[in-house]
C-alpha cells in the first residue's frame, strides 16, 4: 500500500487549471479545432486569461486564498514546438511558475497531458501513432528531469475516458472521430502509455508520487424496477469508471479523481446516459448537482487502498451562491468519506479561475476567481473567500477535515 509522504501536507487544499484553458496563445490541435469553427459561438481560446505571460499576480492571489496546493498542466506544444526541439523559454517560464509556487508555500500537482497535443504529434495520428509512446516518453523524461527538484506529485494523463469518448466516440473534440471501437482502443492505449510513463517518472524521480486523473460519474438506473436498467448501469459503471483504474492500478501511487455529476442509465438509450431527470438541480453545463455521488465514489475508490486526491470537482454557474453551496456540500461528503475510512489527501477545486471550457467556449464560469475577459481583471468570488475560511479552520489538523455543516437551503 502506497503511503502519503511525510514531507507533503497531510491534506492538500487548492484548485486546478489546465494549460490550454488559461494560458493563452497556445498552438496545438485544439487551436486548430477552434479555428475550424467547432466551438460554441465560434469562439477561439485566443489569449484566454493570459496567465502564461503574466503568472505572478495569479499565483500570489492563490496564496492569498489560503491554498497549500495548485494543480496545473504543462503545455507540450510549447515545450516541444517541433519534434526534438525543446523551447528553453517555455522551460524557463514553467520553472519560474513552479519555483514561485514553492516559494509561496503551494505544492504543485503537475499534469503532463491535459487533452491538448502538439499539432505535429496529432498529425502523426496522436496516441494511435506507432511511435507515439517514444515521443511522449521523450517529452516526459525531459520535463521530469527539468522539474524533479520542484515537483513531488505528477498526474500523467487527465481523464483518459473523457478524452477517448469526446475525441474518438462523440467527435466533439479533436480529432473528431465517431467510433465505439476507436474509443475503446484509445482508452486502453492510454492506460498502457500511463504505465510506461509511470515507470519512466519513477526511474527519474523515485520519491515522487505518480497517478492519473480518473473521471468518475455516479451512474444510476433510470427506472428503479427495471432489471435491464440495473444491468446496463453495472456494465457502464464498470467499463467507464473502473476498468481503467484496474488497468493502471499496479502503476499508481495515488488515485486522482475528478467528480462532477450523476448520470442516469436507461436501456432504451443504450450507452448514452441522461444528464438529469426533469426538475433536478443542474449547473450551467446541464450537469446534475449530486454531492452524495462523490461520497459513494470515494468509498468505492477507497477499496484500492491508496491515498485519494480529488483532482477536480466544481460547478459552472453565474450564481456564486450556488457555488458556495456546492463547495460546502461536496466538502461535507469528503469529510464523511474520511470519517468512514477513505484516505483522502486533498481537494483541488475546478477551477482556480474562469477559463476556456473546451467546445463550450467561455460561457461556463467555473472559477473561484472571476475573470473579466475584456480587462483581464481578477476578482475572488465569495466562494473563494468561503473556501479560504474553511481552509483556515483546518490549519492544524491531522489530515481529517472538518467542514461547517452545510446550511439547509436548497441547492
Q: How far apart are CA 33 and CA 55, in angstroms?
A: 26
Piece of the chain touching ligand FCB by CB under 6 A; list 118-126, 154-162, 176-184, 274-282: 154-162
Assess 159 for contact with ligand FCB (CB under 6 A).
Answer: yes
Q: How far apart are CA 120 and CA 332, in angstroms?
A: 45
Assess 222 for contact with ligand FCB (CB under 6 A).
Answer: no
Q: Name which of 205 and 327 has its Cβ closer to ligand FCB.
A: 327
Q: DSSP of 249-298, one letter per residue?
A: GGG-SSEEEEEEEEEEE-GGGTT--BS--TT--B-TTSPBP-HHHHHHHH
Assess 80 for contact with ligand FCB (CB under 6 A).
Answer: no
Q: Residue written as cell 492506460?
A: 191
Binding mask 304-343 for ligand FCB (x = CB under 6 A): --------x-------------------------------
Assess 76 for contact with ligand FCB (CB under 6 A).
Answer: no
CB 358 to ligand FCB: min, Å: 6
Assess 18 for contact with ligand FCB (CB under 6 A).
Answer: yes
Residue 409 CB coordination number (10 Å): 8
Assess 358 for contact with ligand FCB (CB under 6 A).
Answer: yes
Q: Name which of 26 and 394 has its Cβ closer to ligand FCB.
A: 26
Among 69, 110, 117, 162, binds ligand FCB (CB under 6 A): 162
Among 26, 49, 111, 158, binds ligand FCB (CB under 6 A): 158
* Core vs surface per residue 139-149: b (16+ CB within 10 A) or e: bbebbbebbbe
CB 366 to ligand FCB: min, Å: 6
Q: Name which of 78 and 215 has its Cβ closer to ligand FCB.
A: 215
Q: Name which of 77 and 158 has its Cβ closer to ligand FCB.
A: 158
Binding mask 251-280 for ligand FCB (x = CB under 6 A): -------x----------------------
Q: How far apart are CA 325 and CA 224, in angstroms?
A: 28
User: Site for ligand FCB (CB under 6 A): how many residues?
Assistant: 11
Task: For residue 119, give the 3-state DSSP assignment.
Answer: helix
CB 72 to ligand FCB: min, Å: 12
Q: How far apart are CA 177 and CA 18, in angstroms?
A: 23
Piece of the chain touching ligand FCB by CB under 6 A; list 24-32, 158-166, 333-341, 384-392: 158-166
Contact 169, 180 (CB under 8 A): yes
Give the up-direction half-sphere exposure of residue 313: CA atoms within 13 A in the CB hemisphere: 33
Alpha carbon separation from 231 to 66, 161, 222, 227, 307 (Å, rounded): 45, 21, 11, 6, 30
Interface residue list for ligand FCB (CB under 6 A): 18, 158-159, 162, 215, 258, 312, 350, 357-358, 366
Amino acid at each position: 500500500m502506497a503511503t502519503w509522504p511525510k514531507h507533503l501536507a497531510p491534506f492538500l487544499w487548492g484548485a486546478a487549471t489546465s494549460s490550454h484553458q488559461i494560458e493563452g496563445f497556445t498552438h496545438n490541435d485544439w487551436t486548430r479545432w477552434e479555428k475550424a469553427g467547432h466551438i460554441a459561438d465560434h469562439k477561439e481560446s485566443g489569449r484566454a486569461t493570459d496567465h502564461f505571460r503574466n503568472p505572478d499576480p495569479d499565483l500570489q492571489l492563490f496564496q492569498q486564498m489560503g491554498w497549500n496546493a495548485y494543480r496545473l498542466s504543462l503545455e507540450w506544444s510549447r515545450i516541444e514546438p517541433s519534434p526534438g526541439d525543446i523551447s528553453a523559454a517555455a522551460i524557463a517560464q514553467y520553472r519560474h511558475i513552479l519555483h514561485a509556487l514553492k516559494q509561496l508555500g503551494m505544492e504543485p500537482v503537475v499534469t503532463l497531458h491535459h487533452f491538448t497535443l502538439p499539432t505535429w504529434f496529432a498529425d502523426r495520428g496522436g496516441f494511435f501513432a506507432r511511435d507515439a509512446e517514444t515521443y511522449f516518453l521523450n517529452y516526459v523524461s525531459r520535463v521530469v528531469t527539468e522539474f524533479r527538484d520542484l515537483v513531488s506529485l505528477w498526474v500523467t494523463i487527465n481523464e483518459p475516458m473523457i478524452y477517448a469518448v469526446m475525441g474518438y466516440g462523440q467527435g466533439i473534440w479533436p480529432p473528431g472521430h465517431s467510433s465505439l471501437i476507436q474509443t475503446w482502443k484509445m482508452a486502453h492505449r492510454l492506460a498502457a502509455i500511463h504505465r510506461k510513463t509511470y515507470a519512466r517518472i519513477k526511474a527519474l524521480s523515485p520519491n515522487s508520487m505518480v497517478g492519473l486523473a480518473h473521471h468518475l460519474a455516479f451512474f444510476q438506473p433510470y427506472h428503479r424496477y427495471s432489471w435491464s436498467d440495473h444491468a446496463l448501469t453495472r456494465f457502464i459503471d464498470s467499463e467507464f469508471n473502473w476498468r481503467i483504474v484496474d488497468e493502471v492500478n499496479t502503476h499508481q501511487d495515488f488515485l486522482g479523481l475528478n467528480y462532477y455529476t450523476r448520470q442516469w442509465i436507461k436501456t432504451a438509450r443504450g450507452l448514452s446516459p441522461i444528464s438529469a431527470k426533469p426538475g433536478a438541480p443542474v449547473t450551467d453545463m446541464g450537469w446534475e448537482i449530486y454531492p452524495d455521488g462523490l461520497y459513494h465514489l470515494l468509498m468505492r475508490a477507497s477499496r484500492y487502498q491508496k491515498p485519494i486526491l480529488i483532482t477536480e470537482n466544481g460547478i459552472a454557474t453565474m450564481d456564486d451562491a450556488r457555488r458556495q453551496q456546492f463547495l460546502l456540500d461536496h466538502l461535507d461528503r469528503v469529510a464523511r468519506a474520511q470519517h468512514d475510512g477513505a484516505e483522502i489527501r486533498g481537494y483541488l477545486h475546478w477551477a482556480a479561475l474562469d477559463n476556456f471550457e473546451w467546445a463550450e467556449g467561455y460561457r461556463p464560469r467555473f472559477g473561484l476567481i472571476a475573470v473579466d475577459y475584456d480587462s483581464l481583471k481578477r476578482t475572488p468570488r465569495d466562494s473563494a473567500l468561503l473556501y479560504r475560511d474553511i481552509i483556515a479552520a483546518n490549519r492544524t489538523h491531522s489530515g481529517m477535515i472538518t467542514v461547517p455543516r452545510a446550511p439547509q437551503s436548497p441547492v
